[in-house]
Amino acid sequence: MLINYIEPVFRPPSEWKSLILQVTNGCSWNQCSFCDMYTQPQKAFRAQKLDKVEQDILAVAQSGAPVSRVFLADGDAMSLPFARLEAICELIHTHLPQVTRISSYCLPRNLNNKTPEQLARLRELGLSLLYVGCESGDDEVLTKIQKGETFESSLAALQKIRAAGMKSSVMILNGLGGVALSQQHAINSAKLMNAAQPDYLSTLVVTLPLGTERMDAVFDGQFQLPDQLGLFQEMHTLLDHLELEQTIFRSDHASNYLVLKGVLGKDKAKLLAQIALAINAPRSIPLRQEWQRGL
């Protein structure tokens, strides 16, 4: 292996061909009550030393590996200050000149200390796609899950990304409001997307592999994930309220029972019809079984 990673390493599914460059370890926030990604001791947040990042880039460059995309890991590499991000992008630009896209996860608050000019500079150096895990557009849900963000802070970040000429890819979590907040979670998430008009939108079903204890605590003692029908109804409400002009929509992560793909708004009616079938005639449409969900 060319690079020694601090495991586990996570990346968006669409970055499967990219060089994963671990410029930070873990997540600087690490408080979302549904997220167990970086809770192991070796994943305590820290910035990777620039020397180590340079060594990794040089190792890949000298290997001749055909790298055209780079994903900056881990959970929120954009928490690094501008100067460090600029230095990393310059190193990639210098040693891997064939790279056409650099991307990263980004928390909305990561952009607070970066000016539009600084973001434009990073865009110029190839950083052109930011994955923003909004999770929800509903402030009550966002407060409960301890995201540390709001509808407004999420929207401001998405608008800043767009103004810098970068693309945004947003994740919304199906089921995150539980049964109790399901409908407002869907409606307000749609409102956030309508205001932001992201380039990509994906939905994942919330999964809690290490148990519901943390979610129970923030949901007044019991978090009740909607059943399959409830998840489909929530998706129907979300899609029904979306008014997007040109957004690539994907709901094909392993966690989803129903695979949906299309461009919104052009494919809205078709996608709604597929969800309606899943609700009203589930045997007439291919759904992932529990064992196929790969969780």
- Interacting residue ranges for ligand SF4, rule: CB under 6 A: 27, 29-32, 35, 37-38, 75, 107, 133
Q: How far apart are CA 255 and CA 275, in angstroms?
A: 16
Q: Which two tokens stand for residue 79?
A: 């928490």
Which residue in the block uniquely carries the two structure tokens 């929530």?
A: 234
Q: How far is the CB of 107 from ligand SF4 (least distance, A)?
A: 5
Looking at beta carbons only, is 75 or 198 nearer to ligand SF4?
75
Q: How far is the CB of 190 from ligand SF4 (least distance, A)?
A: 21
Q: How far apart are CA 211 and CA 115, in angstroms?
A: 40
Looking at beta carbons only, is 14 or 55 nearer to ligand SF4?
14
Looking at beta carbons only, is 43 or 236 nearer to ligand SF4?
43
Looking at beta carbons only, is 32 or 172 nearer to ligand SF4?
32
Q: How far is the CB of 33 from ligand SF4 (least distance, A)?
A: 9
Looking at beta carbons only, is 29 or 232 nearer to ligand SF4?
29
Q: How far is the CB of 153 from ligand SF4 (least distance, A)?
A: 13
22, amino acid identity = Q
Paired residues of 263 in beta bridges? 248
Mode of pairing for the β-strands spanning 24-25 and 46-47: antiparallel
CB 58 within 8 A of CB 22: no
Q: How far is the CB of 158 from ligand SF4 (least distance, A)?
A: 16
Question: What's the first-to-final CA gap in the chain, in angstroms?
Answer: 26
